[in-house]
Amino acid sequence: MISDAPRRAELSLDPPMIEIDELHKCYGELEAVKSVSLQVARGEARFIIGPSGCGKSTFLRCINLLEVPTRGRMRVGETSMAFGPNTKPLPTRAQAEFRARVGMVFQQFHLFPHMTARENVMEGPRTVKRLPIAEARDIADELLAKVGLSAKRETYPRHLSGGQAQRVAIARALAMAPEVVLFDEVTSALDPELVDEVLAVIRQLTEEGMTMVVVTHEMAFAREVASAVTFMDGGAMVEQGSAEQILEHATNPRLVSFLRRFRR
Amino acid sequence: MGYSWDFGAVTLHPHMWLWGFVVTVSYSTATIVGGLLIGVVCGMLMLSHRWILVSPVNGFVQAFRCTPLLIQIIWFYYALPVAANITIPAWFAAALGLTFYMAAFSAEIFRGGLQSIDRGQWQAARAIGMLPWQVMHRVILPQAARRMLPPFVNQSVLQIKNTSLLSVIAVPDLMYQAQLMVSETFRPLEIYTSLGVAYFAMLYPLQKLAKKLERRDDI
């Protein structure tokens, strides 16, 4: 403990949680992500916005290796990796261990339909971390309480509303105690009246200092909670800055025209 | 012109019925189980993305799906020993043909069942750090199994009926025993009618089971 040491000036020089350097993702001829670099500090909520098909989801999926980048370098927490024609892909087991530390929540929830809400949340701690059942259950119950779904513990996903299902999915990601959570348009598939209950959970996580990267079309929400916003278009990072800079004082013409679509 | 039925011929040799029944059930069970096991492996290989694995398995599956089982049985009995210069006993040749036939259809059922599971399930399971075999075991197979069960039962029903083809290479199954009894008693109508009823009594409950499983599609 260095509790009574004066708050060190180097604190701001702490290495970022995520450091991505000139990342490319190609599908044959198509370059979906073009040399994107990004740094996300510990505890930061980084929002990525941009038109559909701009590569922001692909980029997000590269961060937890659901897509393997074609070229570039990336570091998340302690794990550094490089991608390119001459680098070997990370072994399967190392990839899995890496993903266990980088949570992800999907647009379509992808809950396991043959498991109850509680079993969905327990699955990671049980199967991946090999925790005893009782311990995994405690983790699940605590997280389901946190997302306001204690009453739905024994419910199967087909009986949950979209908003409830997405909150279970968030709890499932959190159950691994990840260093970073990635959110991939998690409210896009929801009925409008169910969006807020999911955003409330994400807002709470930002307040708790969870490091996260959020791909979203919810501009008002981004304005409210984002530590920084990145605007992507055509696979490339066009602009980044504080939420205010990007969302209110945009000067880049592509960004301005993109944002105009969200105003009446 | 009237034909006088005489079902006395049917009950003349009860031990032949019994022995035939035992042989039919044994061949059915053994070749269904064997076929399933080979089929599961083939189905998995068909889903791998390696051309070198997929194409031979595909070739095997298509060859067995697109030729009559009768030809396969005869081929394994007569042609394989010549081609490979080995002697294989009739019972084993018969079992091989039936097993591969079941394997080919199971492979397709298995492949289709696994592929019918949404890719998002793979992604979600991998995203919490599961290894591929854990994803398969904990997430994909439990869901796919429910979808694969009805077609597996249907295929098994077909398989049991198909064992009647074994009689052509003198495997003493129900069909073969019936043929023996016919040549002794000259009562084909009575004996084959009874044989049909016997198969029906075996298979109808199975078919009912398949229907029941189909309806229980509750995910």
pLDDT of residue B216: 61
d(CA A243, CA A219): 10
* Residue B67 and residue B6 in contact, taking contact as beta carbons nearer than 8 Å: no
In a domain, A252, yes or no: yes
Q: Measured between CB atoms, which of A92, A111, A123 is closest to B131? A: A92
> Which value does ipTM take for this structure?
0.89
Q: A52-94: per-residue pLDDT in tens?
A: 889 999 999 999 999 999 999 999 999 999 999 988 888 999 9
Nearest residue on chain A to B121, alpha-carbon basis: A110
Give the distance from residue B12's alpha carbon to the nearest chain A alpha carbon, in angstroms: 54
Q: What is the pLDDT of residue B125?
A: 97
Token pair 């999907």: residue: A106
Question: Is pLDDT at A8 greater than 50 in this prediction?
Answer: no
Asked whether the beta carbons of residue A123 and residue B138 sit closer than 8 angstroms, the reply is yes
Q: Is the pLDDT of residue A1 over 80?
A: no
What pLDDT does residue A3 have? 43
Q: Is A124 on the interface with B (CB under 8 A)?
A: yes
The count of other CB atoms within 10 Å of the CB of residue B3 is: 6
pLDDT at A7 over 80: no
> Residue A81 maps to which CATH number?
3.40.50.300
Mean pLDDT of the A109-136 span: 96
Exposure on the CB side of residue A236, measured as CA atoms within 13 A: 7
Number of H helices and number of E strands within chain A?
9, 10
Split into its structural domains, chain A has a count of: 1
**Cα–Cα distance measured from residue B107 to residue B64, given in angstroms and rounded to the nearest whole number:** 11
Residue A204 DSSP symbol: H
Q: Which residues of A touch B138 (CB under 8 A)?
A: 123, 127
Q: Is residue A10 part of a domain?
A: no
**Quick check: A64 contacting B, CB < 8 Å?**
yes
Strand A228-233 and strand A45-49: pairing? parallel
- Residue A114: list chain B partners with CB under 8 A: 142-143, 219
pLDDT in tens, chain B (219 residues): 578 888 888 888 889 999 999 999 999 999 999 999 999 999 989 988 888 889 999 999 999 999 999 999 888 888 888 888 887 887 788 888 899 999 999 999 999 999 999 999 999 999 999 999 999 999 999 999 888 988 999 899 999 999 999 888 888 899 999 999 999 989 999 999 999 999 999 999 988 887 887 766 555
Other Cβ atoms within 10 Å of B34 Cβ, number: 17
Q: Which domains occur in chain B, in start order?
A: 26-213 (1.10.3720.10)
Interface test with A, best of B128, B143, B216 (most A CBs within 10 A): B128
Assess if residue A141 is contained within a domain. yes
> CA of A200 to nearest chain B CA: how many angstroms apart?
22
Substitution target from A98, A99, A127, A139 for chain B, most B beta carbons within 10 A: A127
**Residue of chain B minimizing CA distance to A106:** B124
Q: How far is A221 from chain B (nearest CA, A)?
A: 25
User: What's the mean per-residue pLDDT of chain A?
Assistant: 92
Name the residue range of residue A209's domain: 15-260
Interface residue A108 vs chain B (CB under 8 A)? yes
Residue A80 belongs to some domain of the structure: yes
- Is B125 near chain A, with CB under 8 Å? yes
- Distance between CA atoms of A61 and B71, rounded to whole angstroms? 51
pLDDT of res. A151: 96
Which DSSP category does A262 fall into? T
pLDDT exceeds cutoff 80 at A5: no
Rounded-to-integer distance, Cα A72 and Cα A189, Å: 32
Residue A4 confidence (pLDDT): 42
Residue A118 has pLDDT above 70, yes or no: yes
Looking at residue B1, what is its pLDDT? 59
pLDDT in tens, A139-188: 999 999 999 999 999 999 999 999 999 999 999 999 999 999 999 999 99
Distance between CA A170 and CA A173 in Å, rounded? 5
User: Cβ of B131 and A96 within 8 Å?
Assistant: yes
**Looking at the complex, does the CB of residue B142 fall below 8 Å from at least one CB of chain A?**
yes
Query: Is residue A2 one of the residues assigned to a domain?
Result: no
Question: How many A-B residue pairs are in contact by the CB < 8 A criterion?
Answer: 67
What does the pLDDT read at residue B27? 92
Residues whose CB falls within 8 Å of the CB of residue A249, separated by 6 or more in sequence, listed in order: none
Q: What is the CA radius of gyration of chain B?
A: 21
pLDDT digits (tens, 9 = 90+) for A199-215: 999 999 999 999 999 99
